[in-house]
Amino acid sequence: MTAAPILSPVAVDPRALGKVAVLMGGHSAEREVSLMSGGGVLAALRRAGVDAHPFDPAERPLWALASEGFARAFIALHGRFGEDGTVQGALELMGIPYTGSGVLASSVAMDKVMTKRIWRAEGLPTPDWRQVASVEETQAAFDALGAPMIVKPAREGSTIGLTKVTAREQCAEAYRLAAHHDPEVLCEQFIAGDEVTCPVLGSGAAAQALPVIHIVAPGGNYDYQNKYFSDDTRYIVPCDLPAGEEAAIQALVLAAYRTLGCRGWARADVMIDAATRRPYLLEINTSPGMTGHSLVPMSARVAGLDYDALCLRLLADAALDNPLPAPAARGGER
């Protein structure tokens, strides 16, 4: 285990942050988790003295944010229409700074296939995969990648629509389940070994990886139930990995974050091959969970930042991709 970076709370006047919308709920399959995340964030920001209000884009049009005088948005939405660049784009148009990654990094990170292409092109390790569009292609992927194989939707989260395929006959059902959630489906080589996750906080040169969490799920099955509702899953942080491994994972995750152009915060999921001890990047979440069970707050706490201070720090980092006025306001030659 390496020494965790010590994070200090940001010195910020909560009132200077203006009227803040905590975006929660939304239209994605992860709506329920988002409501839990948003509720936690809202309470924390209010405790810190921020003028924070809940805002559910499933109940009101997002455009109301501009007319209601919101100065900033804390994005506690997960999945599609929240974590995928769409809400980020709308906030850009309204000129309202928001937490987390910008339009491009959000939408790339939402798509596991696109993310893996970039990581591979940059020489970062990720399990071998095939993008498939039919049962036949899923079977061909199984023949090529070998057993076991993971079949999952490219743009979903919370382990929704995911199957571990151990026999060829399972390919049809696994493909149909994944395709039910997203027409874009990916088959991925299964990495047997330790599962870890590592948050990153900050932007550009100031971005830093937080302590790695080792996740030990009952039966090695870290599914939706175990993620959000089980008391049996163990989260080991400070982690118990062999010396040097934590630092290597932190460096890898920081590179994965920077390569995609992420900012603000994110959390990458990594599998460590039991035989070779090589780490493989699975995905990066640009709007990670912030519930009572969630992993980023757990890791930040070990680094010296409690839940309330973490929320305030993320909010203070809210930004726009493009802080220039919109073209209509600027005028110009066209």
Both tokens of residue 55?
């805002």
Q: Among this protein's residues, is 30 annotated catalytic?
A: yes
Site string for ligand ADP, 122-151 (x = CB under 6 A): -----x----------------------x-
Which run of H or of E encompasses 150? Answer: strand 149-153
Q: Which range binds ligand ADP by CB under 6 A, 190-198, 255-263, 306-314, 318-326?
A: 190-198
Active site annotation includes 34: no
Contact flag: residue 271 with ligand ADP (CB under 6 A): yes
Work out the number of other CB atoms within 10 angstroms of the CB of residue 44. Answer: 23
Task: Report if residue 158 touches ligand ADP, rule: CB under 6 A.
Answer: yes
Q: Which of 34, 101, 158, 287 is catalytic?
A: 158
Whether residue 148 is preceded by a cis peptide bond, meaning omega within 30 degrees of 0, is yes
Least distance to ligand ADP, CB of residue 198, Å: 13
Peptide bond into 238 cis (omega under 30): yes
**Active-site residue, from 34, 107, 294, 299:** 294
Helix H or strand E segment including 147? none
Length of the chain: 334
Counting residues that bind ligand ADP (by CB under 6 A) gives 16
Cα 26 to Cα 22, 112, 295, 314, distances in angstroms: 11, 21, 21, 20
Which residue lies nearer to Mg ion by CB, 269 or 321? 269
> Which one of 222, 228, 257, 265 is in contact with ligand ADP (CB under 6 A)?
222
Separation of alpha carbons 306 and 61, rounded Å: 33
**Shortest gap between Cβ of 87 and ligand ADP (angstroms)?**
18
Q: Alpha-carbon distance 326 to 200, whole Å?
A: 30
CB 238 within 8 A of CB 4: yes
Of 14 and 289, nearer to ligand ADP (C-beta) is 289
Q: According to the binding rule CB under 5 A, does residue 156 interact with Mg ion?
A: no
CA–CA separation, 253 and 148 (whole Å) = 25
Residue 217 burial (CB count, 10 A): 17
Both structure tokens of 74: 């804390």
- For Mg ion, the binding residue among 92, 245, 269, 317 (CB under 5 A) is 269
- Out of 50, 91, 162, 300, which residue is the one contacting ligand ADP (CB under 6 A)? 162
Catalytic residues: 30, 158, 294
Q: Which residues of this chain interact with ligand ADP, rule CB under 6 A?
A: 127, 150, 157-159, 162, 188-191, 195, 222, 269, 271, 282-283
Q: Which residues of this chain interact with Mg ion, rule CB under 5 A?
A: 269
